[in-house]
Structure 1
């Protein structure tokens, strides 16, 4: 049964529907489609093809590559091994503006399950989002995708708990991406008794340099890894949760570490470097005891993170680092992180070591250049499986 969104005419007018263009919430169809319906997969293939032909929006093009038909078929088949899946129902997503493509990853994870999906966007109009919306609106205007168009809404509205509560009231799942304070505020707005919630809160990430393994690599291989790591760090202004903010050097050679850190700095985006802001961030971290020492070299503010301290504020080209002598020295005192970028060493070897440290949480272990690459598994959660249910 279609549930009525309890809003006044004036409240409806406060909501901007970004996609599908010229559609409103009153025409939103709340009836689910089958999980992984052929029509949905065909639509994703068409969207992927259009996005992959973009030349000047790399993140939008990466989204297209992620949604390519072969990759989706593989993801779907893996999740059907345990039996048939069924949709949950209307899904409401609230996303931030610091990583533009999250809005689409979250929405399409839900739509693939057949869930009618509403995404509340950040109030900021982001260029690369707009590129995707132009393509998305062109596709959704075609008659063959009307069934999809009826069940997908990307919207904007000024912060308003009444609107958020009304939209929460019709959903069977609510997905929140954002800062801890924002999530806590939204969590205070009740859901229907049968609904559930997924949250993706503030997280930190790191890069782990394996000195022994790095010594065995040729200079060109090290240079390539450092260039890729620089992209992981600098994209989205260091604000993505999966962008490494801490560099952990596993070894004892100070000269080797300083040489590679300087080389890394040379590949970082120059626009990040803001000397006065760096100084403010680092001096504050020293006064709170989080940083034991700091310096500014090669356009980067380097803060030595004290053992046992959480990462301070990021941005402005500030990087925090630690030098640890052995694996146990680091693993026995390490904090929980979302993403670990393995520089020089073996990801499989690190996974094996983690078995001896069950309290330590590293949700993703990736190669340099892959920290910002989205996966259906995020923060240890399988988005596709969580947004559907086992049938029978």
Structure 2
């Protein structure tokens, strides 16, 4: 017997074959049905109450507010139209990463809203916020107000067991894998049915670009607010989220860029103290080793350390600093003369560009010059981690559904 730990509605061991039979016997529902939308509202209300002091969970609750779900329903309706009916794919398997506690909920909730049945494999290294979310869901399901959502959901935990992943993959119509390149390669060893589709969200890199002159034109109060918003971008998930900026690029002349960079990071260091950002011992050791290797591997100038919470590594010339990363408040810094000079340094691994001080036409021009070579999101400072149903260039509402076309045009008969 192959078993997993099923976390909902109660924590108990479950036979995989029995779980899949129970789940696939459940009818896929119509997209954006009233019960699913009501469930989102109820869950958001409970999570706001239970997750005080947990910013990522509070952000999830805010995303689920009624106005946000209604906007999602509107976006979904626009995908259909005359002769096009959007229907669920069937059963979706979600494999989220261990380092971002809330991502499994965004993936699962969007899939639930469009009517799919869902299996979520939660890592056995899931953090505090993920486990709190499971507790809130368990209480909500116990109340018995959302039976079809409960029946269409299986949240499970198991180790690196290829046999279990094989069985879950063989039963799904859509597999969604959030994680590193190595994780995706391993999961892909488990075959999908011929009709099934797959969405993968691999290792990504994100950066921030500031116009130095525009930053220095701000008064002290606005610079402080910008530093606080940049803290939100970078320090959630210990700077290990795919959209957490790791490279700060300044646009301007050398002297202006250096002055602006020193000012921003001084203020950011103060924010880390005010927020009492805690650096785990293991992270502090990893940062020490990482910064020493960076000084050997890349053209790093004089590093600036603001204690254990913040380290700035200026690059004397551009270097590809993507790849292994320690997190915990380490920023590479680089200068370019113009926004266009950044284009040649972008590649397909680059996901989010956090920006300050640029006009829409300049940013659109950069994206058009890249022409798909990199950058899936351009957002203002403070919005790097805000989840959107369009992620990594995929419209998840569309990807989680199938399009059925109805053509009543009769062929001309002669």
| TM-score, L = length of structure 1 | 0.90
* Distance change (3 Å), C-alpha of 1:123 and 1:356: same
The answer to whether the Cα contact below 8 Å between 1:282 and 1:294 also exists between their aligned partners in 2 is no
Structure 2 CA distance for aligned equivalents of residues 127 and 228 of structure 1 = 23
SS in 1 for 2:6: strand
Residue of structure 1 aligned with 2:331, choices 309, 319, 322: 319
Structure 2 CA distance for aligned equivalents of residues 197 and 56 of structure 1 = 35
2:293: which partner in 1? 284
The answer to whether the Cα contact below 8 Å between 1:227 and 1:267 also exists between their aligned partners in 2 is yes
* Distance change (3 Å), C-alpha of 1:324 and 1:193: same
Q: Which string of whole-angstrom CA distances, capped at 9 and with x for unpartnered residues, describes residues 166-215 of structure 1?
A: 00011000000111101001112100000000000110111111113223
Instruction: Kindly state the Cα deviation for residue 139 of structure 1 after the two structures are TM-superposed.
Output: 1.6
Q: Which string of whole-angstrom CA distances, capped at 9 and with x for unpartnered residues, describes residues 127-175 of structure 1?
A: 1122222221122123332221111011101110000000001100000
Instruction: Report matched runs for 1:257-336 at 5 Å.
Output: 257-268=261-272, 270-272=277-279, 277-288=286-297, 290-299=298-307, 300-305=310-315, 306-311=317-322, 313-336=325-348
Residue of structure 2 aligned with 1:39, choices 35, 42, 56: 35
SS in 2 for 1:143: coil
Structure 2 CA distance for aligned equivalents of residues 21 and 347 of structure 1 = 50
Instruction: Kindly state the Cα deviation for residue 294 of structure 1 after the two structures are TM-superposed.
Output: 4.2
Q: Which string of whole-angstrom CA distances, capped at 9 and with x for unpartnered residues, describes residues 319-367 of structure 1?
A: 1110111222222333442111113434564134322332542111112
The answer to whether the Cα contact below 8 Å between 2:7 and 2:155 also exists between their aligned partners in 1 is yes
Structure 2 CA distance for aligned equivalents of residues 348 and 53 of structure 1 = 42
User: What RMSD over aligned residues (CA atoms) do the two structures have, in Å?
Assistant: 2.1
2:128: which partner in 1? 127
Structure 1 residues 173-182 or 225-234, which shifts more? Answer: 225-234
1:109: which partner in 2? 110
Residue of structure 1 aligned with 2:380, choices 367, 373, 377: 367
Instruction: Report matched runs for 1:12-23 at 5 Å.
Output: 12=3, 15-21=4-10
The answer to whether the Cα contact below 8 Å between 1:91 and 1:110 also exists between their aligned partners in 2 is yes
1:345 and 2:358 aligned: yes
SS in 2 for 1:144: coil
- Give the total of aligned pairs: 380
2:410: which partner in 1? none
Structure 2 CA distance for aligned equivalents of residues 293 and 247 of structure 1 = 15
SS in 2 for 1:389: strand
Structure 2 CA distance for aligned equivalents of residues 61 and 149 of structure 1 = 23
Instruction: Kindly state the Cα deviation for residue 46 of structure 1 after the two structures are TM-superposed.
Output: 1.6
Structure 2 CA distance for aligned equivalents of residues 294 and 102 of structure 1 = 36
SS in 1 for 2:369: coil
Structure 2 CA distance for aligned equivalents of residues 123 and 22 of structure 1 = 13
The answer to whether the Cα contact below 8 Å between 1:53 and 1:61 also exists between their aligned partners in 2 is no
Structure 1 residues 380-389 or 292-301, which shifts more? Answer: 292-301
Structure 2 CA distance for aligned equivalents of residues 48 and 149 of structure 1 = 16
Structure 1 residues 382-391 or 197-206, which shifts more? Answer: 382-391
Structure 2 runs not aligned, ≥5 long: 406-414
1:3: which partner in 2? none
* Distance change (3 Å), C-alpha of 1:291 and 1:153: farther
1:56 and 2:53 aligned: yes
| TM-score, L = length of structure 2 | 0.86
The answer to whether the Cα contact below 8 Å between 2:235 and 2:328 also exists between their aligned partners in 1 is no
SS in 2 for 1:159: coil
Structure 2 CA distance for aligned equivalents of residues 251 and 48 of structure 1 = 43
